[in-house]
C-alpha cells in the first residue's frame, strides 16, 4: 500500500465486555463505517458481526489470533493503514484505556503524526458487577475502587493493595495466578479471611459464570474460564446474582 498524502485517522474503540447491546452508539457507528478494523482476541464474534462487511478485519490479538505478533507489529499495521488514508478502528475489549496497552499505541501514532480519538467502552469490572447485581461502590461500605492487574509487563509481581481502610473494592483483571495463590496473597497483605469476593467469567455473554463467596473459600475453587475478573470487598456482600445461564451460576460459600 502506497502512503497517500491525506493521512487517515485511528479510532481506539471500546468494544465492551462482549454483548453487542453494550456497545456505545458511537462504537457501533464506527464499526459500520471503518475501512480497517484491527481487533484484540477478547472482542466477541457477535461484535465483529456488526462490522462494515467491506472492511479489512484483522485479529491482532496476542493469544490465539495472529500468533507471535508483537506490540511493534500492531503499531506498524495501524500506522500503515492510516497512512493509506483509511479510517481505522483499533477495537479493544472493554474500555480501551484500561489494561489495553493504549499508551504504547498512542505514542506510536504521535510519532507518526497520525490523529486519533478514544471511544470509551464498558469495562469488565462494570459488566461483572452488573452481572452479579451489585454496585462497585457504596456510600456506606466502599469509598474507593481499585482496578488491579494480575499480569504486569516483564512478569513483575503484582502489588496487593493494603487493607488500610476496609471500605475499598478491588477489581482484579487478568487474575493470572491460581485462585489459591491470589487469595493467599491478599490474606498475607492483611485482608480478612471473610472478605466477600466473586469471580465473573465472560461477563455479559451467554457463557457467563459467577462464583461468589469469600477469600477463605476462594483458595479451594477451580478457575473459571478466561476472561474472568475478581471483585473483592464489602460491596459483594449479599449479592443476588442471576447469571445469563442460571445453571452456570453457583456460590462457593461453605463448599470448601
Instruction: Please check whether residue 81 is in contact with residue 36, taking contact to mean a CB–CB distance below 8 angstroms.
Output: yes
- Contact between 229 and ligand SAH (CB under 6 A)? yes
- Contact between 227 and ligand SAH (CB under 6 A)? yes
Binding part of the chain for ligand SAH, among 49-57, 122-130, 186-194, 241-249 by CB under 6 A, reads 122-130
Instruction: Please check whether residue 131 is in contact with residue 25, taking contact to mean a CB–CB distance below 8 angstroms.
Output: no
Per-residue cell: 84: 493509506
| 40 part of the active site | yes
User: Residues of 131-162 as b/e, b for ≥16 C-beta within 10 angstroms?
Assistant: bbebebeeeeebeebebbebeeeeeeebebee
- Contact between 100 and ligand SAH (CB under 6 A)? yes
Tell which one of 11, 81, 173, 179 touches ligand SAH (CB under 6 A): 173
Least CB distance from residue 31 to ligand SAH, whole Å? 17
Binding part of the chain for ligand SAH, among 46-54, 198-206, 231-239, 240-248 by CB under 6 A, reads 198-206
CA torsion through residues 49, 54, 58, 64, sign = positive
| 174 part of the active site | yes
Instruction: Please check whether residue 60 is in contact with residue 77, taking contact to mean a CB–CB distance below 8 angstroms.
Output: yes
Binding site for ligand SAH (CB under 6 A): 17-18, 42, 92-95, 98-100, 123-124, 127-128, 173-174, 200-204, 226-229
Amino acid at each position: 500500500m502506497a502512503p497517500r498524502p491525506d493521512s487517515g485517522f485511528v479510532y481506539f474503540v471500546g468494544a465492551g465486555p462482549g454483548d453487542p447491546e453494550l456497545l456505545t452508539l458511537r462504537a457501533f457507528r464506527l464499526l459500520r463505517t471503518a475501512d480497517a478494523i484491527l481487533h484484540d482476541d477478547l472482542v466477541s464474534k457477535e461484535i465483529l458481526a456488526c462490522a462494515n462487511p467491506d472492511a479489512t478485519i484483522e485479529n491482532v490479538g496476542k493469544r490465539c489470533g495472529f500468533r507471535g505478533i508483537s506490540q511493534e507489529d500492531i503499531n506498524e499495521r495501524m500506522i500503515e493503514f492510516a497512512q493509506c488514508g483509511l479510517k481505522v478502528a483499533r477495537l479493544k475489549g472493554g474500555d480501551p484505556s484500561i489494561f489495553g496497552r493504549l499508551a504504547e499505541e498512542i505514542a506510536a501514532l504521535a510519532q507518526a503524526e497520525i490523529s486519533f480519538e478514544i471511544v470509551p467502552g464498558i469495562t469488565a469490572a462494570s459488566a461483572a458487577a452488573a452481572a452479579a447485581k451489585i454496585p462497585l461502590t457504596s456510600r456506606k461500605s466502599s469509598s474507593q475502587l481499585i482496578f488491579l492487574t494480575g499480569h504486569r509487563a516483564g512478569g513483575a509481581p503484582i502489588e496487593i493493595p493494603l487493607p488500610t481502610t476496609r471500605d475499598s473494592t478491588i477489581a482484579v483483571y487478568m487474575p493470572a495466578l491460581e485462585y489459591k495463590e491470589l487469595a493467599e496473597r491478599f490474606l498475607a497483605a492483611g485482608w480478612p479471611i471473610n472478605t466477600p469476593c466473586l469471580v465473573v467469567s465472560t461477563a455479559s455473554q451467554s457463557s457467563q459464570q459467577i462464583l461468589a463467596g469469600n477469600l477463605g473459600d476462594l483458595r479451594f475453587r477451580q478457575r473459571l474460564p478466561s476472561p474472568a475478573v475478581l471483585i473483592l470487598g464489602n460491596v459483594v456482600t449479599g449479592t443476588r446474582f442471576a447469571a445469563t445461564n442460571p445453571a452456570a451460576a453457583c456460590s462457593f460459600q461453605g463448599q470448601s
